[in-house]
Amino acid sequence: MTDRPDGSDQAADHDVPIPYRERISTYYQTLGYGAPYRWAHFAEVPFTPLKKPLAQSRLGLVTTAAPYQPDKGDQGPGAPYNGAAKFYRVYSGDTAADHDLRISHIGYDRVHTTATDSNSWFPLPLLREVAKAGRIGELAPRFHGAPTNRSQRVTLEQDCPELLARLVEDRVDAALLVAV
Amino acid sequence: MCHQTVSLAARYLEENGIPTVIMGCAKDIVEYVGVPRFLFSDFPLGNPAGRPHDRESQAFTLELALRVLETAPGPRTTVQNPLIWNASPDWKLDYSNVAVLSPEEIARRRAEFDREKEKARAIRDKSAAE
């Protein structure tokens, strides 16, 4: 694995976080798509401190996973990319109930993972346990699904305000966002 | 797009007074957008909440995210999950890496991508018209 001149037990050169922007850009250019995608990029980053301890806070959950739709083709586990399973409006679900959320509409790693355990991308059952144990004050009554749109304008002008409105309505003190 | 979407949402929520933490596997995308708090797991995309069928890994990962939410001293706080995917890092060489694809495979993927994009466009147009 390691081949260091000094013979030390260091990590392999490619054992770094995958440079996705570079990989994806090169990938699509090689596939014949014109200008590379311009990812959102900000110099300023906002920060809001927690107002009270987590054990007294109501936590909201946001996911990019999609509800399973039987009429929309193969959604896995292990399904190829399925554009038909995408959604373009914020949706919400009851956190007290179990949900069948899938990720076939997302470019996850289909070579090295199989999408057979939704707990690896949608930690709702675990959050219910964590709330019961008192680690967080409580889980908000709803979780919210965020559409993964190529257009940053649509995300910022349509979806973000909708997510905020729903989380405010749920009176959350903080939010956990899980990016598949 | 999902790491970008979630990053934009986290920023928006924070600007409006809601503290956030992101769980994700694409470090460069999230940090390039710029977010308040981020728990990075160096796993294949699709496993932001821990390794599949590994309850202990999922509980550890969630607890770490909650601690990042509680203790981040300021914006752009990234904590890397110490758990690894498996003993070999070679899985990192495969994702969307044209260096490992044959010309035939590239042509096949191009055709497939065109088909899926068209399907997604149809849904988006329908949704926008509602």
Domain edges within chain A? 1-39, 54-178
pLDDT at B117: 79
Of B27, B90, B106, the CB nearest to A17: B27
In this prediction, the answer to ipTM > 0.90 reads yes
**Beta bridge partner(s), residue B79:** B39
Residue B90 CA to residue A97 CA, distance in Å, equals: 38
- Average pLDDT of chain B is 93
Chain B: nearest CA to A172, how far in angstroms? 8
Segment A105-122, tens digit of pLDDT: 988 999 899 899 999 999
Residue B53 CA to residue B74 CA, distance in Å, equals: 33
Contact B98 A30 (CB under 8 A): yes
Domain edges within chain B? 2-86, 96-130
pLDDT at A4: 64
Residue A36 CA to residue A21 CA, distance in Å, equals: 10
Segment A36-85, tens digit of pLDDT: 889 999 999 999 999 999 999 999 999 999 999 999 999 989 898 898 99
Q: Do A43 and A34 contact (CB within 8 A), yes or no?
A: no
Angle at A67 (CA atoms; ends A61, A72), nearest 5 degrees: 155
Of A12, A27, A45, the CB nearest to B96: A27
Of A46, A103, A163, the CB nearest to B14: A46
pLDDT at B36: 98
- Which of A 58-97 lie inside 8 A of B, CB atoms? 60, 62, 64, 80-84, 86-89
pLDDT at A45: 98
Please tell me if residue A172 touches chain B, with a CB cutoff of 8 Å.
yes
Contact B62 A148 (CB under 8 A): no
Of A12, A59, A52, the C-alpha closest to A178 is A59
Of A73, A53, A64, the C-alpha closest to B6 is A64
pLDDT at A2: 47
Tokens of A36: 């590379």
Residue A151 CA to residue A154 CA, distance in Å, equals: 5
Q: What is the dihedral of CA A96, B18, A49, A19, to 10 degrees?
A: 90
Q: How confident is the model at residue B130 (pLDDT cuts 50, 70, 90)?
A: low
- Average pLDDT of chain A is 93
Residue A148 CA to residue A85 CA, distance in Å, equals: 12
Residue A143 CA to residue B46 CA, distance in Å, equals: 19
Per mean pLDDT, which range of A4-13, B33-42, B65-74, B88-97 is the poorest?
Answer: A4-13
Q: Which residues are CB-neighbours of A98 under 8 A, at least 6 positions away? A: A124, A125
Question: B89: which chain A residues are within 8 Å (Cβ-Cβ)?
Answer: 11-12, 14-15
For B35, other C-beta atoms within 10 Å of its C-beta total 29
- Angle at which helix A124-132 crosses helix B55-71, to 10 degrees, equals 70
Element (H, E) at B126: helix B103-129
